[in-house]
Each structure stands twice: as structure tokens, then as C-alpha cells.
Structure 1
Amino acid sequence: MAGYRTLMTFLVGIVLFQGGDSDVKCRDDQGNVVDWYILYKLPSGTGDGLSYLYMDESTNGWKVSKKEINSKSGTLANTLKPLLDFYKKQTEGFGYMLYNDQPPIGTASASYGHSKGVVMLDKKSGVWLSHSTPKFPQYRTQDFWPSSGSVNAQTFMCVTYSFDKFNEIGLQLEYIHAYPYDSAIPTTFPNELRCVAQRSCYPKKEPWTRVKNLTSMNGRDFSSFAKYTRFGDGECLHIRLMIKVF
């Protein structure tokens, strides 16, 4: 009888785990799930360099956040929570990759793309947080915000995607030749992400550009434009995401 109860408890645990909601999503200042958001951190000349403007589909334009950008309860902290929790206790079924051409540790060679971002996901959903901040997020610490990031204006764009979109996201990151400085990608996650995390893949032949439509969890279409250094127009490697407004 005891063995039967143990087996039933185990099976119920599996069902609850499989049916549970994903925590890996973009989140606002209150911790609410949002499909996407854009942050604009104001430069230090307009205050302490930690204030920011916030926008998502519900705000009807920019609003001034009551939080500071480095707040442990602000938009960035709420969004990064799965990663910060993983630093404390590693759990199965979660993966991440942090890339930055101006990393908090080490140095990225000039061959890597001028790009910065955070990718986090589980087997249901994930976020792609692209941004402009050098040394963000700081390496494996709860204090994710670098003090150097407070001087200049900075931008952040977070989009929530389903798990099946991250193979395409990985391909886009190949084209910009992103420089990962920290990652943990399970073997069951998209190979496209894993090879970028391992710095082992990049475009080998033409075309040297890639344009891909990516649809968010809530059905919003984003267009992602990426190019490799051999595109040959003399500009920096880059990636852009644009909201299509219909």
C-alpha cells in the first residue's frame, strides 16, 4: 500500500509539472506577464541615471516607472528572476545564454557582432531580451546591474516566445556572431542555441543576411534583421526587432 501511494504521488507530481505554467516570460514592474515591452533608461544628466521609461501593449505609450533600473523588484529583475534563481539552485529544464560584445568578464574580439542580449527558456516558453548595455547582466550575481551602465541612455526590448521559436532565434544569433560569455543550454534544447553558446557556429556561405518573422506568444509579429560581417557594407554587425503595426 505504501508503494502504491508513493507511485501515485510520483505520477501526480509529473502531471502537475507538465501542466504547470512557465515562469520564463517578460514581466513588468509588478511581476505581471507581458507579451513584450520596451525600456528606455534615461542618461545620468537627467537624474541619477537609474530612472527609466516603460512601454508595452497596455500602456498606450511611454510611462515613467516608479522603480529604478537596478531595483530587485523592477521590470528587469522580475524578468531575470528565473536566471537569478538558477544561480542560487540549478534546476533541470531551464536554459540560458548571455551575450555581449562588451562582456563583464573576458574580452570579445572584433570578429564578433556588436550585439547584446539575454536568452532564457524552458520547454514551454522563453524570452529574448535584446539591449544596449555593456557588462549587463553582471556575471553570476544577484546584482545584475553594472554601475557603468548608469551614465548613458540604454534601451531594452523583451519579447516572450514559445519554445519552438528558439531554433530560429539561434540562427539569427549565428548571423550576428553573438559573443556569449555565460550559458547553460541543455542537450534537449535547440542545437542552434547550443552551438552559438559554444562559439562554434557562424554562416559559412551566402547569403550573408537573414530576415525572419518571429511571432510572439500572444501572436504579435516581429521582424528580425540580421547580417554577418561578410555582408561587406562596412557597418557593424547588428540585429533589429521591429513591431509590425497593422
Structure 2
Amino acid sequence: MVAARILVSVGIFFHGCDSDVRCRDDHGVEVDWYILYKLPNTKKDGSSYLYMDENTNGWTVSNQKIGSSSGCLGRTLKPLLDFYVKQTEGFGYLLYNDQPPNPYVAPQSFGHSKGVVMLDRQTGVWLSHSTPKFPTYRSQNFWPESGNANAQAFMCITFPYAQFEAIGLQLKYIHAYSFDSHVPQVFHMELQCVAQRSCYPKKEPWFKEADLTSLGGRSFLSFAKYTRFKDGKV
């Protein structure tokens, strides 16, 4: 049984919401959270993965490939991929990665962190991961081949819109390197600030904890720290 309280290094369900911005499993079904573990490269193709959510009772072997539009990543990222084509009104996103896709290069002053934030004014997704150059810059082929060799991990959580103010603050403390974004001005200022790479902690404390509540009412504890946390530097 998976604990309801999960540490992110980083119930009551809401009804009547037609937002498409949700974590989704391999079948496209909305889930409150999932964890994906891409297996390291084998003699096959390095694109197989294990999957877990609140309904699976542990790890399952997916019959999808990591870069497939029919897998959980492709289905979860669909609002972002659609936005590239349709410029969907009321949708926002922020992509951050300390090893971003070309032509971007993240200065060393930014935090060692990788993730995807997508949202509208109802729900949103925070997808934390470990994959360099993910997702491929504004391409429908979102999976970078450079991600095949090593094992990779993903954690997706669906949150109500209001929680992204706190998530924006966590990203500020991480000093996440945003390489691509579209954050409408009506969205939380904290996300706009991170998207513009214009904010970071300027005084102690150099860390921040946040209690976050998913759309399904589950509690997640997020830890964030700035580069000056206990490093003894001026």
C-alpha cells in the first residue's frame, strides 16, 4: 500500500471539472499521481518502463514505449503538444531543465532540477523527472534519444490551480532554469517570475518546505533549497 504522504524532492475528489490538464495513465484515464521508471538501455531499445499509480498496487510493466503518444507521458503531455499547434486559450506551461535541449545552455548558478508544469485555471500537472533535454523543444516527438541509455524517473501529480502559487515558490527556491514557457498574465505571479528567470532567494532561509494537496486530496511534502543552503559561501 502506497503511503498517502509522499516526499517530493522537488480523499476528496473534485467533480464537475472538464480540464484536460491531468496526469494520465497508458489508457488515457485521469489519475491523481503516478511514478514512472524507465529502464536503462538493453539490447532492445532502451524505451521500456515500469509504471505505478494509486490503482496498480505496485509496479506494472507497461506495454508502451516511453516516447509513444499512447503511453502515459504522451497522454499527459497532450495539452502541451496541442498548444504547440493550436495555441490553446487559457493554457499555460513552464518547462525547466538544468540540461535543456538545444540551443539552450543552463548556467551553473541554476538548480539541478528538471520538470514540466502545465495548467489552466482549473487544474494543473507538476511532472518532476530526471531526463536531460526533455521534452524535445516544441516538437511532437517529445522524447529525446539521449534519454534512452540511462534509467530515468518521473513523478506526475495533478493539482488544483490554487496550489501552483506554492509550486511557483518552490521552483523559485530551486532556482529552476526555465527554457520554454507560456504563462498568461492572469496566472500566478510566482510562475511568471520563474518563467522569466527573474527570481531567486535573496536572503535566508535558503530553503523552503511546502505542504501540497493534490486534486484527489492527498498530501505531498515538497523540499526546495537554493544553492547557498549550508554551503558556507558569501
Per-residue CA deviations over 1:138-194 (Å, capped at 9, x if unaligned) read 000100000000000000000000000000000000000000000000000000000
SS of residue paired to 1:39: strand
1:34 aligned partner: 31
- From 81, 84, 88, the counterpart of 2:85: 88
Find 2:73's aligned residue among 72, 76, 79: 76
Q: How many percent identity over aligned positions?
A: 69
Provide the residue aligned with 1:195 in structure 2: 193
Deviations along 1:51-88, one digit per CA (max 9) or x if unpaired, are: 00000000000000000001111100000000000001
- Check if 1:164 corresponds to 2:158: no
Q: Map 1:1-246 onto structure 2 (within 5 A).
A: 21-45=18-42, 47-105=44-102, 106-233=104-231
Larger Rg: 1
Q: Within 1, Cα distance between the matches of 2:218 and 2:29?
A: 18
- Deviation at 1:232? 2.6
The residue type equivalent to 2:172 in the other structure is E
CA RMSD of aligned residues (A): 1.1
Q: State the distance in 2 between where 1:124 and 1:150 align.
A: 34
Aligned residues: 216
Q: Which amino acid aligns with 2:72?
A: T
Q: Structure 2 CA distance, aligned partners of 1:25 and 1:233?
A: 37
Which consecutive segments of 4 or more residues in structure 1 shift more than 6 A?
none
Unaligned segments of structure 1, at least 5 residues: 1-18, 235-246
d(CA) in 1 for partners of 2:21, 2:69: 17
After TM superposition, give the deviation of residue 233 of structure 1 in Å.
3.9
As a proportion of its length, which structure holds more helix?
A: 1
> Structure 2 CA distance, aligned partners of 1:121 and 1:191?
14
What amino acid does structure 1 have at the position aligned with 2:82?
D
Structure 2 unaligned residues grouped into runs of 5+: 1-15
> What is the identity, as a one-letter code, of the residue corresponding to 1:90?
Q
TM-score relative to the length of structure 2: 0.90
